Structure 1
Amino acid sequence: VGFDDMEWWRGKSKAPGRSWAMEITPDGKMSLYAAGLRSPAGQGLVDGKYFYAENQGDWVGSGYMTILNKGDFIGHPAGLVWADKPGSPVLARTEDIYKRVDPRFNQGRIQDDDPKRPYKTLFEVAKEVPGMKTPSVWLPHSVMGTSTSSLIQIPNDDKFGPFGGQVLIGDQGQSRLNRVFLEQIKGDYQGAAFTFREGFESGVLRLEWGNDGSLFVGQTNRGWGSKGQKDFGLERVVWSQKTPFEMKAVRAMPDGFEIEFTKPVNKTAAADPDAYTLTSFIYKYHPVYGSDVVREQTLIADAAIVSADGLKVRLVVDGLRENYIHEINVGDKVTSADSSHNVLHPIAYYTLKHIPDGEKLNVPKRKAKAAGHDHSMMMGSTTAAPAKTAPAANTSAGLKKNQVDKPASWTTIDQTIVVGTSPGLKFDKPELTVKAGSKVKLTFSNTDDMPHNFVVVPAGQAIAVGELAMKMGLAGVKLDHIPNTPKVLFNTKLVGPGSSQTIYFVAPTTPGKYTYVCTVPGHFYVMQGTLIVGK
């Protein structure tokens, strides 16, 4: 999509074919193929079928990959302005979407700030709109990345380990590769996403196989910032010929899931249903940028049945929901047969578009645990919540870190500051100066096309706080990507495109340099400024 000066946060299709996939024949004829794309950064063939990868944004709750057939409408309504043109195979029309979901035109800056505002999900709208489809596999935002990029299928030639036929998909913001297992249920593609490899030197953008079976990874941060700090990079991934202990695949079953491992498991440990934590959730379908996780439910594993060879575990799960994402966490209790290894990447995200037909196992139902699901333990993190230690500087306790109302005791404000954003993950002011102990009113105005926050931390702590925010997993968006740590001195909430928030704080009483940072995953590596506290 494109953007302009009128409601610049809203993606638009201002030229024929914008926000569409186009089909070009060998003799050079081009025609409309499918609509609803927002910001595709990757496409490719999987078993000879056309898939593409999408990024979070307006009308797109999170990144995903999906098969795209001729005539499909995948969700972003901008391109539907061309759907009635000659040669269009798409049946959906703009009014099909806008009569079901309020586009919120002429309301000024829009964001998801009213918990009572009614909403629908993508799959609920898709059930009513002809030709509208939902993603094959969601890639949960912040957890599996922030900027979905290229996808490529792993050849079935054993040159790249035990994952032949599966799909690798890059992420630019978090400098990583994810892995996707696909299966067809009731004629539709769905499957599971896993972390594959992290730590690339820049943002992963393009993937290509070498003649020797290794994978070349082309990288850039192109001004957007990435976890890998280099401006660009080219690295090669080679299989070490050592098979890691991983979840090789997760398959949907009539009453749960079957997990296949790359190596046999410890049968006693893997047969304990309490070793598995399961949660289902989904995203809103609305014109706001991205979405919180919604309708989250903790599920119960009633049984865990290990195959004779120890390579598979069938989980009988109570409460499966079609069209929801199911997080399956094997934690650290499931180990290899000799108990020497934990699962390298213990979390899978299965997009359950359809529950397969078939016989269900007759097992007794178990009661739910008293404790709820803890998303602070996601992404394989076993780090406890940070201990509450004394802050690095006296910030005149008594105010909230996100103090949005002027304190009643304040008769005057010593300093008023307005700070905004600039393109390329930047604040519009690289440096701010305040007097130690002064009363400050600060307004953060987000003129970018993606959400940001404004967080003040001690000097040298921006990356550490950002990495804590990244470990918050699914809870990150709900909590504005603000981790519970004394290193956060004061902050705004997550401010959507075209929106702003004003906060009040007392400047640190210790003079020196502090850092303000956007702690959104991927942003915090580069989106920083310096707060100078003078005497």
Structure 2
Amino acid sequence: MKRSIPFLLLTAAIAGAQSFDVEPMPNPPGVDPQIGGLDVRPDGKLAAAFHRGEVMIFDPATKSWSRFAEGLHEPLGLLCEGNDSVLVMQRAELTRIKDVDGDGSADTYETVFDDFGMSGNYHEFAFGPARGPDGSLYIGLNVASNGAGIRPEIRGEWSDIGDATFEQMIQGPNFGKVRGKAGRMYARVAYRGWIIKLSPDGSKWEPFASGFRSPDGIGFDAQGRLLVDDNQGDWRGTSPLYVVEKGGFYGHPASLVWTEGWDKGDPRKLPVEELDAMRTKPAARFPQGELANSPTQPIAIPDSWGPYGGQTLIGEMNQPWLVRYLADEVGGVTQGSLTAMFNDTDLGKGNHRLAFSKDGTLWVGKTHLSWAGAEGLVKITPKDIDKAFAVTAVELEKTPKGCGFRVSFSQPIGELDGIKMNRFDYKYHQAYGSPKVDEAALTPAEIANGTDNILLELTAEQAKEGAVHCIEFSGGTSKTGSKLGPTKLYYQATKLP
């Protein structure tokens, strides 16, 4: 039987005992300690790729570093293949680096994949690789920025689709005159703005999905779904998170020129309504400046993390926390909610790359790239994690009055100090970012709870398909006395039930 519970006045919540220890690790001497790639080897040691091109090995037992490789070009991803082999995503190629003689230092550098275009533009970063459940590898390619032009010599095919010619696009006085025509972000060489799929050994590849701007976050969740997040900018009202499938278009039109058989001219000039109908909508959105500014790598949380096991953790460079993703399936569409995690710790900013050890230790590699963030390696160790009182699921359900959000908790509810709800949206347009639009406060038609969940029921007029619905708890206490700190949940209702 449901029972209604009243709204209570918002009160300050006192966070309970920390469920995690956060400990900075020493930096490697003589190395710029900005981490672009991070993974745990089978022997428990960490491999980290640094901004200036070194790959270093960290031994958690001795808290010491040793050099494995060097001379790489802005590596922004790393994947261990064993104790003696790593895959590193450099700006220009995916490289396999191996220690053949067993002395702890690399002997061979092998090009695995470089069949994508490069114009020399400063913004053409490359991310990954992420390994899928079947062993396939996935990488993400940035589009170029009109903050600069191209170089006289490029790699790969050039697309003539665009208002500026090759000669005009070359960095120099001529480019200054056509910067506006270039488009804020452009993809005049092959597969910029795409996710590329490679066979497990890298010998075969295919263009997998288009429509990305700066996909710094690429990884798989516990259910085997490929997750990619992107950064706010042109055609990005705020930073989105996508569940990516083959052949999908994910909103940024510059990359469409590299779609097989493309015959519609400059995709930037297509009607917004046409592009909107073509694109796959996000599985979640990070409110800009509120939850995240620059989301990074998604990673599945292991079962050893108790109530958080099976969920997804996402890095964030500009805010002093990580972000937790709670997926929900509605009518065959994956959507869900985002919420801050470690926001009551001294984790700090710059959280770029994430890796879990077999014992459940979380490693966080930081960077700032001369922008926002920090640097170094941080160790996060769970403690008494089963005592945590936290939201474990948010599910959108059909109800007699319309629909409702069922919020589940890790323990039986004792008291919730206060609840507020509102909704908002962002524009899909060519301009850089978007203010919140269609904002509305929400008052549930009924609030009813069970032992460990609460249903917030909305009328049909209150919920809006496509909007972000924010649920805010000012705090609370479980029946065992564990504290729930202030919690904001941002649910992306891409589809209503």
Same fold (TM over 0.5): yes
CA deviation vs aligned residue, 1:265-319 (integer Å, no higher than 9, x gap): 236x57xxxx421111111111211110111111121111111xx2101111121
Partner SS state of residue 255, structure 2 = helix
Residue 236 and residue 9 in structure 1: after superposition, are their counterparts in 2 closer, same or farther (change >3 A)?
farther
Alpha-carbon contact 1:136-1:190 (below 8 Å) kept: yes
Gaps of 5+ in 1: 86-90, 102-123, 357-535
Q: In the alignment, does 2:391 pair up with 1:247?
A: yes
Q: In the alignment, does 2:383 pair up with 1:209?
A: no
TM-score w.r.t. structure 2 length?
0.59
Question: Equivalent residue for 1:218?
Answer: 365
**Pairs within 5 Å for 1:94-493:** 98-101=269-272, 128-129=277-278, 132-155=279-302, 157=303, 159-198=304-343, 199-226=346-373, 230=374, 232-242=375-385, 243-254=387-398, 255-266=403-414, 275-307=418-450, 310-318=451-459, 319-332=462-475, 334-337=476-479, 342-356=483-497
Question: Equivalent residue for 1:436?
Answer: none
Letter in 1 for 2:489: A
Alpha-carbon contact 1:73-1:92 (below 8 Å) kept: no
Partner SS state of residue 173, structure 1 = coil
Query: Aligned partners of 2:269 and 2:188: how far apart in 1?
Result: 18
Partner SS state of residue 342, structure 2 = strand
Alpha-carbon contact 1:184-1:190 (below 8 Å) kept: yes
Runs in 1 of length 4+ with deviation above 4 angstroms? Answer: 91-97, 124-127
Residue 81 and residue 127 in structure 1: after superposition, are their counterparts in 2 closer, same or farther (change >3 A)?
closer
Question: Equivalent residue for 2:196?
Answer: 22
CA deviation vs aligned residue, 1:67-110 (integer Å, no higher than 9, x gap): 1111100011111111135xxxxx89566763323xxxxxxxxx
Partner SS state of residue 306, structure 2 = coil
Structure showing greater radius of gyration is 1
Alpha-carbon contact 2:466-2:492 (below 8 Å) kept: yes
Letter in 2 for 1:195: A
Query: Aligned partners of 1:160 and 1:328: how far apart in 2?
Result: 24
Q: In the alignment, does 2:231 pair up with 1:52?
A: no
Letter in 2 for 1:168: L
Query: Aligned partners of 1:125 and 1:352: how far apart in 2?
Result: 21
Query: Aligned partners of 2:331 and 2:269: how far apart in 1?
Result: 30
Offset, 1:225: 2.0
Question: Equivalent residue for 1:388?
Answer: none
Alpha-carbon contact 1:77-1:94 (below 8 Å) kept: no
Query: Aligned partners of 1:59 and 1:331: how far apart in 2?
Result: 34
Residue 143 and residue 202 in structure 1: after superposition, are their counterparts in 2 closer, same or farther (change >3 A)?
closer
CA deviation vs aligned residue, 1:141-198 (integer Å, no higher than 9, x gap): 111111111110112x3x2231111100010111421100002211111001011113
Alpha-carbon contact 2:231-2:240 (below 8 Å) kept: yes
Query: Aligned partners of 1:149 and 1:236: how far apart in 2?
Result: 18
Question: Equivalent residue for 2:258?
Answer: 82
Structure with the larger RCO, 1 or 2 (CA within 8 Å, 6+ apart): 2
Number of aligned residue pairs: give it. 312
Query: Aligned partners of 2:372 and 2:200: how far apart in 1?
Result: 38
Query: Aligned partners of 1:210 and 1:73: how far apart in 2?
Result: 34
Query: Aligned partners of 1:23 and 1:175: how far apart in 2?
Result: 32
Gaps of 5+ in 2: 1-142, 150-174
Partner SS state of residue 317, structure 1 = strand
Alpha-carbon contact 1:276-1:301 (below 8 Å) kept: no
Alpha-carbon contact 1:161-1:239 (below 8 Å) kept: no
Alpha-carbon contact 2:256-2:267 (below 8 Å) kept: no
Identical aligned residues as a percent: 30
